[in-house]
Each structure stands twice: as C-alpha cells, then as structure tokens.
Amino acid sequence: MTHIPFNQQLLNACAALLLLLSFAMLSQRRIVSLVSLYAVQGAVLAVATLLLAWRTGEGNLYLSAFLTISLKVAFLPWLLHRLIRRLQVYWDTEPLLNISGTMLIGIVIVVFAFGLAQPITQLASTSMRNAIGIAVAVVLLAFLMMITRRKAMSQVVGFLSMENGLFFGAMSATYGMPMIIELGVALDILVAVLVLGVFFFQIREQFDSLDLHHLERLSERQ
Amino acid sequence: MRLGPLIAQALEIAVALAAAPLFVGWVNQCRAWLANRSAPSMLLPYRNIRKLFHKDAVLAQNASPLFRIAPYVVFGAMVVAAAIIPSLAGRLPLVVAADAIALVGLFATARVFLSLAAMDVGTAFGTLGARREMMIGFLAEPALLMVIFVASLISATTALPAISAHLASEHLVIDPSLAFTAIAFTLVLLAENARIPVDNPATHLELTMIHEAMLLEYSARHLALMEWASALRLFNYACIGFALFVPWGIAARDIGPLGLTLAIPLLALKLAAAGAGLAVIETVSAKLRVMRAPEFLATAFLFAVLGLLVHVLLGGA
C-alpha cells in the first residue's frame, strides 16, 4: 500500500464516519437522538470541510465550514429540539420496516451507490474523488429514512441529512459549490425548516398527531 | 523435522490452557471492582476446575454416548483452535496448517456438539438454551467471517499468521475499515462468549440463560471440561482479536527462546488490557432481551460490511 498523507487519512476517516452516522440515524427510534446525530453529522462535515480547506488552500471552503457549523451544528438542531419540546414528540412509532431489514436494504443501497459513483469518480480530478460514492450513499440512505419513517419530524431530519450528503458530494467532486449557490442552498434549508416547523403545528392541529399517513387521503371527508 | 518449532508449539498450547481460566478470573475481578464489590480470587476458576475433577460424575438415565463424548469434543476443538491461532508466534507447525475459515468451522463444530448434547437429555431448559445458542450462532458466524474477509482483503491471504504479519508491517495509518471491523469483532466476541449484552455468565435464573442452560445437566469432570472449554473460547477470541487488530509483538519469524520470551509478557499485557476493557463494557451495558439479540448481531454484521465497503472504496486512495 502506498503511503497516504495524514490529512488524507483524516478526510477518509471523516467520510467513513459520515456513512456510519447515516446508518446510526437509520436505526435510531428516538427523535431526540436523531436530531443529536444530525448535529454530529454536521460537525463531522464541518471538520472535513476545514481539513479540505487547509489542504487545498481554497478560501471559500473556510466560509462554507463556518456556515455548516453555525447552521447545521448549532442553529437547526436547536430549532428542532425546541420544536420537539413544544410538540411533545419524543419517539417515532415503529417504522414501516423493522430495523434489521432496513439495515440490510441500506447495505444494498450503499453497494448500489458505489457502483453509481464509479463513472463520476473516474471523471473527477480531486484528491477526494473516492469519497463521492460515500456522498451518494449518504443521500440515498437519507431517502430510505424518509421512506421508512412515519412521523413528520424524522422525515424532516432525513431531508436535512440528504442535504448533508449533497454538500459532501459537491465537496469531494469539485472542492465545493460556488459560494452563491451554497449560500442559496443554506437559505433554502433555513426557510424550509422554519416553514415545516409551522406546518407541524398545523398538521397536529388537524389530525392530533404527526403521523403522515393521515395526509395520504386527500378528500374533505373525515 | 527440527525439535524447536514443536517445543514452541507445545509451549503455545500450554500457555493457552494455563492462561484461559486466569483470564476469566481477571475479567471477574475487574467486574467486581467496577461494581464496588470485594473481588473473588483470580485463581477461583482453577480451584473450581480442580474441585469438579475430583467429584464423581452423574449422568442422566437416558443420556446417550453423545452426551458423554461432547465435553471431550468441545474441549478438543478449543485446544486445536488455540494451537491454530498465532497467539505467541507466527510460524509454528500447527499455526500454518489451517487458515481462519477452518478456525471458524472449528468453533462451529464445538457449538453443534454443545447444542446436541444439551438437547440429548431432553430437559426443557437444555433444549431452550440450545435453540437460543443456535440462533445467536447462525447470526454471529457470518459477522465473524465478514470480519475475517476484510482482514484477508487487506492482506490478500486467509492465513491468520500472514494477516497479522502483514498488518504489523504496515505504516501506522488511520484505517476506518479496520476500526469498523474491530467494533464488529468486539460485538461478535460478546455474543459468542455469552457475555453481558447477550447473555449473563453469572446468572442463576434459568429462563434468561443461554450458555449456562446448556450445561445444567453436566457434572464433575464433564462440567470441568465444558467450563475450561468456554474459558478457552474467550481466550481464543481475544487472541484472534490481537492477531487482527494489535498484531505487534507476535514473534513472526523468530521462534527461538528470545522471541518467545518477548511474546509472552506482551501477550499478558494485551490480555490484561482486553480483560479490563471487557469488564468495562459488561458493567456499563444491560442485558438485552433475547429477541433484541438478532438486532445486536445485525449491527455487528453491518459494521463488518461497512468496513469491507469502505476498504473497497477508500482503500486505493
């Protein structure tokens, strides 16, 4: 094995940790822990961004690391925790599939994602191109989480985790998106979570629960 | 054939036989300290085995010959496993004779005989223990094999001494795939050796027993062999862990007196640390419901597979 620089080792470790955290979120039944795991995922992402910024010397990566920390590690988890307290939702109901089954599907998805990322990996010229597969896997695992969960709260965390995956993918394929797009995405997420927070209250007022299968029937009749 | 390797091999088996009960005693002592109890003597497992050897064996009336030979088969399998695992040195006659997959098969043989013997007499508890053991075994085995496959992929061989020699010779890098497999291996170790999150080795409540329930019908020398075999199993698992994840200090080439005298204190040091770590894990975790055990082992399998995938993707970086 060729010798890998220490910085690259740390980046690889961060990528592996992101994948692990995705699986941890997939298996987590408690919403409070889910939000904490999301914050940890954000923190790992910020560390990876900082390492990459230090390595490549790209100034705007520092900025996006700062954005990640302030938004995904501090503000959004705080907002979600506050919503959980206000709405009194601490547990997700039993997910549609049992946990072990979801995990096995998750493994298949990771293999699929790695295959999917293979052509992109060959095209990219960054030092982190091997991590693109992990980024795709994180996105797809977040999808899986949104599919298998019933409560609106876990689905929102899945949505946010998906954005983490996209961010990581952009970082490993092209050393980050242009600053203007990054700012736009960050603003989008912020607004989305704020709006969804209002939505939660509306959903609960209508149906007395945050279980989204009440929304499947679109008729006026009760 | 030269005499030196044979003596070294005999020494390795002797060390395993002697150290296994002591290792169990050490884990029990650490657990007692952590629970703020006064600890039993570390030599208690030896005394227990000696006491049991001096008693007269009692057999159930409807016990078949299988019930009687099972302890010898299980104990024999564990001794052979101890001879195969490179705990002290890498190039011993028996160590190079079988690879890691044969080793897993050896553990499976022991498990099958133990379960058959437990069902042989036909008591409710024995059957219950055997069925639970098989449930855990068939889930733990793929996870263990997957752990070995990751190590084999990294070093391109399934022979344990070659794997540990390869891993010991590498640069010290942060390898996430090895870290994941180490976690998976720890979970498998806990499940396979009837340690706390899955089974409680100190339980007296038959309904929650797994391993102990299978030994309820045994007495005297048979029970002594079974207990010694389970101590050996724990020792063997610890040594597999050392060979894969802390391979430094195993005498890879030099099997002369110098290499071995260096390897023995290092092994003792690693065992002491591993025993303390095991005691900490057992103290901080609560026993799982039996129906949660598949989830526990699915997690182990997941960690091992993640290790494999991460290695395939990032290994070439």
Q: How far apart are CA A162 and CA A137, in angstroms?
A: 10
Q: Chain A residues with CB inside 8 Å of B315's CB?
A: 1
| A99-154 per-position pLDDT tens digit | 778 888 998 999 899 888 888 877 777 677 778 888 899 999 999 988 888 777 88
What is the band of A3 on the pLDDT scale with cuts at 50, 70, 90? Answer: low
Cross-chain CB nearest to A8 (options B305, B316, B317): B317
Q: How far apart are CA A164 and CA B79, in angstroms?
A: 51
More confident residue, A92 or B27: B27
Query: Considering only CA atoms, which of B294, B27, B312 is closest in space to residue B142?
Result: B294
Does A131 contact B314 at a Cβ distance shorter than 8 Å?
yes
**DSSP assigned state of A128:** T
- CA distance linking residue B140 with residue B300, whole number of Å: 8
User: What domain range is B112 assigned to?
Assistant: 3-314
Q: Are B187 and B306 in contact (CB under 8 A)?
A: no
Number of domains in chain B: 1
The mean pLDDT value for B270-296 works out to 86
* Interval A82-92 mean pLDDT: 78
Domain assignment present for residue A218? The answer is no
Evaluated on CA atoms A75, A79, A84, A85, the torsion sign reads positive
The answer to whether position A145 is within a domain reads: yes
- For residue A151, give the DSSP letter: B
Q: Cα distance from B264 to chain A (closest Cα, Å)? A: 30
Give strand pairing partners of A211: A151
Instruction: Spell out the residues 6+ positions from residue B42 whose beta carbon is closer than 8 angstroms to its own.
Output: B22, B25, B26, B28, B29
Closest in B173, B177, B294 to A100, CB measured: B294
Tell me, yes or no, whether A222 lies in a domain: no
Provide the residue range defining the domain that includes A40. Answer: 6-213
Residues of B in contact with A10 (CB under 8 A): 174
Q: How many domains does chain A have?
A: 1
Q: What are phi and psi of A155, to 5 degrees?
A: -65, -35
pLDDT(B283) > 80: yes
Whether residue A82 lies inside any domain: the answer is yes
**Residue B295 near residue B169 (C-beta atoms within 8 A):** no
pTM, full prediction: 0.84
Cross-strand pairs, B251: B89
- Statement: residue B200 has pLDDT above 50: yes
Q: Smallest CA–CA separation between A12 and chain B, in Å?
A: 7
Out of A10, A16, A107, the one facing B302 most closely (by C-beta) is: A107
